[in-house]
Amino acid sequence: MNKNMTAGEAAKLQRFLRNKLNPEMAVQCRNRPDECAEIHIGDECLGVVAKIIDEGETSYSFEITILDIDLEEL
């Protein structure tokens, strides 16, 4: 079963995230073939979105990474 994120899926996810969360969010497929794509706002990578296929159903999991040094800047 192919779990790689396609360009079409990334475009759909980008439209969804821009509509629901932030109009500046961008979804970029990684150069290596895997099930994840990166989520960016401008030059900053916020995290990844993973494609999950379980029992024939497809879902996407968005994981955001927040570094402790980023919190100190606030």
CB 46 within 8 A of CB 64: yes
Q: What is the pLDDT of residue 30?
A: 83
For 27, the enclosing helix (H) or strand (E) is strand 25-29
pLDDT of residue 36: 87
Residue type present at position 31: N
Task: Tell me the per-residue pLDDT of 32-70, one tens digit each, with 9 for 90 and over.
Answer: 766 789 999 999 999 999 999 999 999 999 999 888 998
Measured between alpha carbons, how far is 63 from 7 in angstroms, rounded to an integer? 19
List the domain boundaries for the chain: 7-73
Q: Output the pTM of the full model.
A: 0.82
- Distance in angstroms (rounded) separating the CA atoms of residues 52 and 65: 19
